[in-house]
Structure 1
Amino acid sequence: MIDQRIFEDLQTKIDEETTVRDELHEIVQTLARKGRSTTAILARAHSTPSDQIKPVLDDAAAEINAQKQEVFRLKAVADQHPFYKYNGLWTRELQNLVASIELCAWLGGLQEHKTSSASFMTIEEVGKFLDIPVNLKEQDAFHLTIEEYLLALIAMVEELSRLAVNSVTLGDYDRPLQISNFIKDLFSGFQLLNLKNDILRKRSDGVKYSVKKVEDVVYDLSLRNLIPKGGAAA
């Protein structure tokens, strides 16, 4: 006869896992809710002239810092459990947060957290800002993976390609040139990567379409003689 305690023990383990998932899910839901607020604020950049964008960036930075507190809560719980068993619960929201950080930084926010000369934040700078490890290899703990960081950069590029179009509507003809130069440089960087992750490889292929979209905007500006003086050589 089978000892029923075997199944009772299995049920106990299932209940424990459910409790962990519920706790993590609650934190991730809060992170997602605050993330939507951050995204809504950054969306105002599409209708705000670049010389008036500082209040938008200040508001976005405040929301990003609120999300940072949720990441601190998430790390405290996640560190008690196997990383790759549960990271699927939060990876999307962490990517969204990093994409918001990158967009805010590119637009001129969060400058006090940048130590490099790049117009975006390196993975190390993002990790330091969020106070979390990055790319852990020998430790099973909460961290920002390279894949999550790269997917966030791709999301930021997609948002910038939209911004290039909307900037023209605002009469800002310099910003599309800046965006074009930046995402072309970033695309060149992606070309150096030998990507094994299928999702990341497919998403990175889309960067070239964002580059083409912005190049079309710049080309149209050129045809209309709307390129700012010296911009063609930028």
Structure 2
Amino acid sequence: MVSDRRYCRWPRSSRERTCISSIGPLLQPSSDALEKQFDSWQLRITPVDYLLGVADLTGELMRMCINSVGNGDIDTPFEVSQFLRQVYDGFSFIGNTGPYEVSKKLYTLKQSLAKVENACYALKVRGSEIPKHMLADVFSVKTEMIDQEDGIS
């Protein structure tokens, strides 16, 4: 899986979103002389595996979002929500026409997006009412409710 070999850093600034890859054996030096000039590498991975890795990344971003609220970071959930919405929209174009694994991940991505959007909603509507140290408890209860609605135990 791509996500198993990838270290992602979600920076404080939305301008510098970067993923720092540490994918070792998957990288091979490029054979093209022009590309060698620019020290480029080729990544040998199938498009389906890449999409599955991106989908797995969204689950990790959802966890990071909920944890950031518990740590008192109120801005990160809104940034993550926008990014997850864009990824979900992109995956929606593939929908059920793509490989089975991708359509299955689309369902999980939808759940992650719902959890992050619920966190953003609670922050926007109830954020001033709830003390910061109690926000994590509110989101863990909401996450359990979403999982129960979807039949996940």
Tell me the TM-score range normalised by the shorter chain: 0.5 to 0.7
Structure 1 partner of 2:4: 96
Q: State the alpha-carbon separation in 1 of the partners of residues 29 and 94 from structure 2.
A: 24
Q: Which of residues 36, 43, 59 is equivalent to 1:158?
A: 59
Q: State the alpha-carbon separation in 2 of the partners of residues 189 and 165 from structure 1.
A: 23
SS in 2 for 1:192: helix
**Which 4+ runs in 1 deviate beyond 3 A?**
117-121, 129-133
Structure 2 partner of 1:192: 93
Unaligned runs of 5+ in 2: 31-42, 129-153
Structure 1 partner of 2:104: 202
Q: State the alpha-carbon separation in 1 of the partners of residues 112 and 29 from structure 2.
A: 30
Unaligned runs of 5+ in 1: 1-91, 109-116, 134-141, 227-234
Structure 1 partner of 2:79: 178
Give per-residue Cα distances to partners, 1:132-156, cap 9 Å, x unaligned: 78xxxxxxxx821111111111111
Q: Are 2:114 and 1:217 aligned?
A: no
Matches within 5 A, 1:84-163: 92=1, 94-97=2-5, 100-101=6-7, 103-104=8-9, 107-108=10-11, 119=17, 130-131=27-28, 143-163=44-64
Q: State the alpha-carbon separation in 1 of the partners of residues 84 and 16 from structure 2.
A: 12
Higher strand proportion: 2
Q: TM-score, normalised by structure 2?
A: 0.60
Higher helix proportion: 1
Q: State the alpha-carbon separation in 1 of the partners of residues 94 and 87 from structure 2.
A: 11
Q: State the alpha-carbon separation in 1 of the partners of residues 101 and 18 from structure 2.
A: 23
Q: What displacement does 1:119 show? A: 3.9
SS in 2 for 1:172: coil
Give per-residue Cα distances to partners, 1:105-156, cap 9 Å, x unaligned: xx13xxxxxxxx89466xxxx9xx93478xxxxxxxx821111111111111
Q: TM-score, normalised by structure 1?
A: 0.40
Q: Is 1:161–1:213's contact at 8 Å kept on the other side of the alignment?
A: yes
Q: What displacement does 1:203 show? A: 1.3
The structure with more radius of gyration? 1
**Residue identity (%):** 26
Q: Is 1:132–1:143's contact at 8 Å kept on the other side of the alignment?
A: no
Q: What displacement does 1:210 show? A: 0.6
Structure 2 partner of 1:89: none
Q: Is 2:81–2:116's contact at 8 Å kept on the other side of the alignment?
A: yes
C-alpha distance 189-118 of structure 1, shift in aligned 2 (>3 A): farther
Structure 1 counterpart of 2:4, one-letter code: N
How large is the Cα RMSD of the aligned pairs? 2.7
